[in-house]
Amino acid sequence: MKIGIVSVPDAANFGSFLQAYCLQITLQKLGHEVYFIRTRSKKYINNLFCPFNIYRVAKHPLREINNLIFMQQQKKYYEKCWQKFSIIDEKETELDIIILGSDAIWSVKSEIFRAPIFYGIGLKCKSIKTYAVSVGGMKSYEDFVKYDYIVNAIKTLQPPLVRDNLTKDYVDRIRGDESLLVCDPTFLIDTAEYTEDFCFASLAGKKYMLIYAYYVNERMKNYIQKFANAQNLLVVSVGFRYDWCDYSLHCSPLQFSSVIKNAEYIYAASFHGVVFSLLNNKTFVTTDAVIKAKSLLNDVFSVNDMILSESIEYQDFEDKLVKFNIDYLDIRDKILKFRKNSIEALRNSLQI
């Protein structure tokens, strides 16, 4: 069948690309043609790589210019990888099925995700499905359901396949039935199937602590630097530029898992940073501000010792890394079971 996907494969972060890419691979293995339906304008996407704010520029002109240069360079890696997708306007190709998901495309706190396309409104095909949709970090059910057209659209879908328990709770309350929890697409296939090696000459033979985060507050920055210094590690960020790190790396989304794998420790303040830390059996910490990652660790894998609170003291931060203790054999078993069940749910949902 010809399957269209409504997602965000062209965002400015590795996870958005990789969830889309892994879903594409999975569907192709099931024998389908896969297309991604264009959901945002080229201007909007270009602006994601232009972190320009006149107030920040006025306050820190050199830093902001360097950030802009960094993101424009990083964009070149994304553009090369985007060529692996067939991105179409919905009317360009007659589609049998359209899948809404994965990722936080139902996070209505963001205006872009209030667009009707993310709920299947106005799309023409034989059947609309979902896979691993998420409301992201939405903390209020009332804020989610205040958009009548979104609520009505969700009611018309088949029981959705959702990515987390928060989304399941919201969707089930709207619909009055049971949605099914499935894994993020990045859990559907082994990273070895698509990961490309990353080589950076300045890191050859050196050990580093990796930072993958949209934002790092002053407390965490100080803790990271102190810990890395005590462990004789370089501090390296990837995908985002931080001038307090020893290096800020550009890499392809397909090299991201390799960068994770080669790190000694990881500060992963993002959902997919946590996912790839788990997939690579790494020692890592995250923050309780990343609700999606917190839910994954608690609800799916029943581990939470690596979650940091905002008020954590340095000694506790250090202990969580030095005394890190997670049974990765158990994690692997849970991933394989979750993968098997999710692929079966996806396969069943594709029946028209």
pLDDT at 57 over 70: no
Weakest mean pLDDT among 46-55, 127-136, 148-157, 327-336: 46-55
Q: What average pLDDT does this structure show over 296-317?
A: 94
pLDDT at 278 over 90: yes
The string of pLDDT tens digits covering residues 226-251 is: 999 999 999 999 999 999 999 999 99
CA distance 104 to 110: 10
DSSP 67-129: HHHHHHHHHHHHHHHHTTS-EE-TTTS--SEEEE-SBSTT-TTSGGGGSGGGGTTT--SSEEE
* pLDDT, the chain, mean: 94
What is this structure's pTM? 0.94
CA distance 89 to 117: 11
pLDDT at 284 over 70: yes
Alpha helices in the chain (DSSP H): 14-29, 42-48, 54-59, 61-82, 141-144, 148-156, 165-175, 218-230, 256-261, 271-279, 291-295, 314-322, 328-349
The string of pLDDT tens digits covering residues 163-220 is: 999 999 999 999 999 999 999 999 999 999 999 999 888 898 899 999 999 999 999 9
List the domain boundaries for the chain: 2-188+337-349, 196-335
Q: How confident is the model at residue 55 (pLDDT cuts 50, 70, 90)?
A: low
Most confident of 63-72, 85-94, 280-289: 280-289
Q: At what angle do helices 14-29 and 61-82 cross, to 10 degrees?
A: 10
Instruction: Report the topology of domain 196-335.
Output: Rossmann fold (3.40.50)
pLDDT at 78 over 80: yes
Q: How confident is the model at residue 58 (pLDDT cuts 50, 70, 90)?
A: low
Report which residue type is found at 63: R
In three-state secondary structure terms, 48 is helix
Q: Phi, psi (5° rounding) for residue 282?
A: -100, 160
Q: Indicate the pairing of strand 97-100 with strand 208-213.
A: unpaired
Q: What average pLDDT does this structure show over 297-324?
A: 95
In three-state secondary structure terms, 214 is coil
- pLDDT at position 139: 83
Q: Which residues contact 149 (CB under 8 A, 6 or more apart)?
A: 116, 119, 121
For residues 174 and 163, the answer to whether their CB atoms sit within 8 Å is no
Q: How confident is the model at residue 52 (pLDDT cuts 50, 70, 90)?
A: low
Reported as type and span, the H/E element at residue 265 is strand 265-269
CB-CB neighbours of 293 under 10 Å: 26
CA distance 322 to 337: 29
Q: What average pLDDT does this structure show over 112-139?
A: 94
- DSSP secondary structure letter of residue 196: P
